[in-house]
Amino acid sequence: MRLNTAKKLLRDGKPAVGLWINMPSVVGAEALASVGWDWLTLDVEHGCMDYETQQNLFIAIGANGTVPLARIPENDTAVIKRTLDAGAYGVVVPMVCTAEEAKRAADACRYPPHGVRSAGGGRWRYWAGTDYMDYANDEILCIVMIEHVDAVARAEEILAVEGVDACFIGPSDLSWSMGLRGKRDERHAEAIQRVLEAGKKTGKPAGIHCMSPEEVGQRMEQGFQFLACQNDAAFMMTGVNAAFRAVNAARAALKQPVFAG
């Protein structure tokens, strides 16, 4: 089976960095993968993608050696099965708040006797290899999101669940669950640190969503390993807004019209 290079980085104690894909464009995904990110995660929780589109994007991402992942809309066994069968090499499961919920996610990612994933078909055999079923339980990544204040309190028990490979903090939902309405303060920073320490105690890598490359650097220094550097739409808008401002500045600076007519 094709090695899950993102999981290997995490296992080796190294950072694995990528970004979220919100826009359902096959060529966009191919372009992002050509850059060389360790992984790219389809954001099916907040993006707008059907299964067929997801499968097409997994093909585009995997063709360039980047590991295709998906953040699924909810912690659902059938959704996890279909997402993995379509070629995701792991799932990011939102809003996991208890050890039971973490176990449901981990079980859904694994074939028996380690879980409940149904042993059916899927396009994985063409890309991952015909021996996929022999190794998938080890290679597939199950990443649970800790993004509620209740989950922070239970971070250790959630991360201790067998089959949970890593956690990923959603700073925005965490803030809202703390009554901060998206803002970040000292309490928010302490909650994040607490999750990171729970990861160290249980031997599971922690990840976090970052708003900029600079934040990725800071979070790496802090000890986070699975790092999301914003999303495709945000990058596009940053570039487009900067270009638009520059063009308007040039227009405003025109001393006299240079046009005919």
Which positions are annotated as active-site residues? 46
Residue pair 10/16 in contact by the 8 Å Cβ criterion: yes
Dig out the tokens for 247 from the structure. Answer: 């063009």
Which C-beta is closer to ligand 3PY: that of 87 or that of 170?
Answer: 170
Which C-beta is closer to Mg ion: that of 38 or that of 173?
Answer: 173
From the list 11-19, 75-83, 117-125, 162-170, the region that binds Mg ion by CB under 5 A is: 162-170
Among 173, 195, 196, 226, indicate the residue that binds ligand 3PY (CB under 6 A): 173
> Of ligand 3PY, Mg ion, none, which one does residue 199 interact with (CB within 5 to 8 Å by kind)?
none
Neighbours of 170 (CB within 10 A): 22
Beta strand 206-210 with 166-169 is parallel
Among 171, 199, 205, 207, indicate the residue that binds ligand 3PY (CB under 6 A): 171
Does 139 bind ligand 3PY (CB under 6 A)? Our answer is no
Contact mark string toward ligand 3PY, 96..135, x via CB under 6 A: ----------------------------------------
Among 87, 122, 163, 170, indicate the residue that binds Mg ion (CB under 5 A): 170
Q: What is the footprint of Mg ion within residues 60-99 (CB under 5 A)? A: none
Q: What is the footprint of ligand 3PY within residues 143-162 (CB under 6 A)? A: 147
HSE-CB of 166 using CA atoms within 13 angstroms: 26
Does 81 bind ligand 3PY (CB under 6 A)? Our answer is no
Residue pair 228/209 in contact by the 8 Å Cβ criterion: yes
Does 18 bind ligand 3PY (CB under 6 A)? Our answer is no
Residue pair 64/127 in contact by the 8 Å Cβ criterion: no
Which C-beta is closer to ligand 3PY: that of 85 or that of 175?
Answer: 175
| Angle of helix 99-108 versus helix 77-85 axis, rounded to 10 | 30
Between CA 221 and CA 148 the distance in angstroms is 24
How many secondary structure helices (H) and strands (E) does the chain include?
Answer: 13, 8
Does 47 bind ligand 3PY (CB under 6 A)? Our answer is no
Q: DSSP letters along 167-190, please? A: EEE-HHHHHHHTT-TT---HHHHH
Residues lying near ligand 3PY in the complex (CB under 6 A) are found at 147, 170-173, 209
